[in-house]
């Protein structure tokens, strides 16, 4: 059963009532007895749990492949960088070895 919020325009009282959807709205304020007791429009409070929902299964799937592609490109660049460094180190080693002798 849904919970409905009511507001009394006479005394300002706000209350929540558990009612069936088919029940008639409450006409009188339980605090002051006024007939200015109206049902308020409010957001429903629920959570989508489990699998099969867009939020839990499909919402972030588009960003994951793009992130993996970016990570793969970074790995390729990182792998290429040490090779360049090692060739630079080889060139500097003979120079330092020659200078040491």
What CATH number did the domain enclosing 9 receive? 2.20.28.10
Q: What would the pLDDT profile of 25-62 be if each residue is shown by its tens digit?
A: 999 999 999 999 999 988 777 777 778 787 777 777 66
Q: Single out the residue of 65, 66, 6, 62 nearest to residue 36, CA to CA.
A: 6
Which segment of 5-9, 15-19, 77-81 scores lowest on mean pLDDT?
77-81
Evaluate whether residue 32 is within a structural domain. Answer: yes
51 is a domain residue? no
The dihedral through the CA atoms of 63, 69, 74, 79 has a sign that is: positive
Indicate the number of domains in the chain.
Answer: 2
Residue 19 domain-assigned (yes or no) = yes
What is the span of the domain harbouring residue 72? 62-101
Both 35 and 71 in one domain: the answer is no
Position 53 in a domain: no
């Amino acid at each position: 059963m849904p919970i409905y919020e009511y507001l009394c325009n006479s005394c300002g009282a706000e209350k929540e009532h558990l009612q069936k959807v088919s029940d008639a709205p409450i006409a009188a304020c339980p605090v002051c007895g006024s007939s200015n007791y109206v049902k308020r429009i409010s957001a429903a409070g629920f959570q989508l749990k489990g699998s099969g929902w867009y939020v839990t299964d499909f919402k972030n799937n588009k960003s994951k492949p793009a992130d993996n592609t970016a990570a793969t490109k970074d790995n390729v660049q990182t792998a290429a960088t040490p090779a360049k460094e090692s060739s630079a180190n080889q060139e500097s080693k003979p120079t330092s070895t020659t200078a040491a002798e």
